[in-house]
């Protein structure tokens, strides 16, 4: 069986598959070949309004369901996703392009959100306290926030969906998910899996669309919606914050990054190179947490650069779903053009290409693993999200100066620090303006940890207990007894 055989391709509204109101469909493309895989229903504004109304109708009984019941449904979803890890990984690899090993890791990560929030759903705690005056009691309840609109990107088609759906379901919310147009199939398959796990019809609705702007605006302007959770670019996030202002919606925003990766003079280079490979190449560099700029102390820069170059040059590029592939294609031609532009600009300003550096001829949207060294601070690649397999190296001498350079960005999602001195590592970590720091670690993502950014990288946190609270509303009751 190929992964595509059993995948739904219509909208999921109220527990039923249906065509778009105006019958439109759009194509999903395999980035390794540029060929069409299948077509899916293209939700129109009317579909969005209908999905929100269905979600609103199904909200009261789901919100009132016993927390243990919601926990059991999420637990079942975890088990089903793990059972079908291979099929989901193949599907992700086909529509997104990533290497199968990355896709398998994503499915495990995605499933862990179901497990974590299954465990959290029976622990939505309030509190009781005596007012300082002694005159009354302060009772605090945590209630489900209501209908949530979820908008997700293409780079983690499963995990970005479950990271939102799981806490929403755990607290008793109903949702309408609008996945990225490039990767709607994984989202539709997750919708079907949740129905099978016992989610009541209408609690989870999935609307693929190539008409995102009007569709999402139409939903956000519906009075039944109380929450927007968005993961994607800072540019689109800003736009949606404006739209969400009209109904004063609660907004969680997981936006773009520009992660610095600092290698201090006393770093363990085995660890630093291994961490660099993970922080850069997990998901082929198409991750918001991807190391975007390597600042390496001059004392270890030559060795770090040649070891990283050797590891990058040894990676095997090819269609993600082929055995032995370590780096798949980028998502589309525009992504390859962006990477090309950033590398050309750095080289024109004086950087040296150590490996890669030239687009691979089609079919498919391939760019090779690339290391560029001695990148000048004026290069655009140090300011913009690369979202591809390119590691730019900058050498430094002064720690305070490099911290200032690392912080000189509107983004603040993830950072990485390598030092064998834990006190120095912690001091530098604390000085970095980012929501997450990997200290001698190349991966920060963990369903049990609060994932999110500062500055223009976002608002709110996903994962951990904090991720649950983002789907609750606080009610305070003043009383006396
Ligand atoms: P994108 O902003 O282009 O799209 C994200 C989602 O928004 C997609 O579903 C898209 O269809 C939708 N969208 C686009 N225009 C819209 C509009 N006008 N109105 C409503 N919805 C609209 O981002 P992308 O290219 O899919 O993903 C890559 C970006 O996502 C990168 O910047 C990356 O850093 C970011 N990202 C962030 C995190 C995080 O947790 N902070 C995680 C993954 C990706």
Model pLDDT for residues 352-369, shown as the tens digit of each residue: 999 999 999 989 999 999
> Does residue 254 have an active-site annotation?
yes
Domains and CATH numbers, the chain: 11-254+456-479 (3.40.605.10), 259-445 (3.40.309.10)
Q: Answer whether residue 2 shows pLDDT above 70.
A: no
Distance from Cα 375 to the centre of ligand 1, integer Å? 28
How much of the chain exceeds pLDDT 90, in percent?
A: 98
N residues, the chain:
481
Q: If you take atom 21 of ligand 1, which residue's CA is the nearest one?
A: 212
pLDDT of amino acid 229: 98
Distance of CA 264 to the CA centre of its chain: 28
256 ligand 1 Cβ < 6 A? yes
- Between CA 203 and CA 364 the distance in angstroms is 38
183 ligand 1 Cβ < 6 A? no
Instruction: Provide the 10 A C-beta neighbour count for residue 254.
Output: 27
pLDDT of amino acid 5: 74
pLDDT of amino acid 3: 57
State how far the alpha carbon of 48 is from the alpha carbons of 11, 174, 481, in Å.
Answer: 10, 14, 46
pLDDT of amino acid 1: 36
Query: Which of 288, 311, 385, 462 is flagged as catalytic?
Result: 288
* Least confident among 4-8, 124-128, 299-303, 432-436: 4-8
Q: ∠ CA(160), CA(164), CA(166), 5° rounding?
A: 115
Query: Mean pLDDT, to the nearest integer, of 289-309?
Result: 98
44 ligand 1 Cβ < 6 A? no
42 ligand 1 Cβ < 6 A? no
Instruction: Provide the 10 A C-beta neighbour count for residue 134.
Output: 7
Query: Across-strand partners of 60?
Result: none
**The token pair that represents 433 in the structure block:** 């303006």
Mean pLDDT of the chain: 97
- Between CA 357 and CA 365 the distance in angstroms is 14
């Amino acid at each position: 069986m190929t992964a595509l055989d059993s995948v739904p391709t219509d909208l999921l509204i109220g527990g039923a598959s249906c065509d778009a109101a105006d019958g439109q469909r759009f194509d999903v493309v395999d980035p390794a070949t540029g060929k069409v895989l299948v077509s899916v229903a293209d939700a129109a504004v009317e579909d969005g309004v209908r999905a929100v109304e269905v979600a609103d109708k199904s909200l009261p009984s789901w919100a009132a369901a016993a927390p243990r019941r919601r926990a059991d449904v999420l637990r079942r979803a975890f088990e089903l996703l793990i059972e079908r890890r291979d099929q989901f990984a193949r599907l992700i690899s086909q529509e997104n392009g990533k290497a199968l090993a990355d896709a398998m890791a994503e499915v495990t990560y995605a499933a862990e959100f179901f497990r974590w929030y299954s465990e959290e759903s029976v622990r939505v705690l309030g509190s009781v306290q005596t007012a300082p005056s002694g005159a009354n009691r302060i009772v605090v309840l945590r209630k489900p926030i209501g209908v949530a609109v979820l908008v997700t990107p293409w780079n983690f088609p499963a995990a970005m969906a479950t990271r939102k759906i799981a806490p929403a379901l755990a607290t008793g919310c109903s949702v309408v998910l609008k996945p990225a147009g490039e990767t709607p199939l994984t989202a539709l398959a997750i919708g079907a899996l949740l129905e099978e796990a016992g989610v009541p019809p209408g609690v989870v609705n999935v609307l693929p669309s190539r008409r995102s702007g009007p569709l999402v605006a139409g939903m956000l302007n519906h009075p039944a919606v109380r929450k927007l959770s968005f993961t994607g670019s800072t540019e689109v996030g800003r736009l949606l914050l404006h739209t969400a202002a009209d109904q004063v919606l609660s907004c969680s925003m997981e936006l773009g990054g520009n992660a610095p990766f600092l290698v201090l003079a006393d770093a363990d280079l085995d660890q630093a190179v291994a961490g660099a490979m993970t922080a850069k190449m997990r998901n082929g560099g198409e991750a918001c947490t991807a190391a975007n700029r390597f600042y390496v102390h001059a004392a270890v820069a030559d060795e770090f650069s040649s070891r990283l170059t050797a590891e990058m040059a040894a990676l095997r590029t090819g269609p993600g779903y082929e055995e032995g592939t370590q780096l798949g294609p980028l998502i589309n031609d525009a992504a390859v053009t962006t990477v090309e532009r950033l590398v050309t600009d750095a080289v024109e300003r004086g950087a040296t290409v150590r490996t890669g550096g030239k687009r691979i001829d089609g079919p498919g949207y391939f760019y090779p693993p690339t290391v560029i060294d001695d990148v000048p601070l004026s290069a655009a690649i140090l300011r913009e999200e690369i979202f591809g397999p390119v590691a730019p190296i900058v050498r430094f001498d002064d720690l305070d100066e490099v911290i200032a350079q690392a912080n000189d960005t509107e983004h603040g999602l993830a950072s990485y620090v390598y030092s064998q001195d834990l006190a120095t590592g912690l001091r530098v970590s604390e000085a970095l303006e980012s929501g997450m720091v990997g200290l001698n670690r190349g991966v920060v993502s963990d369903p049990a940890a609060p994932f999110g950014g500062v500055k223009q990288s976002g608002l709110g946190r996903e994962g951990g207990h904090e991720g649950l609270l983002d789907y609750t509303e606080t009610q305070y009751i003043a009383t006396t007894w």
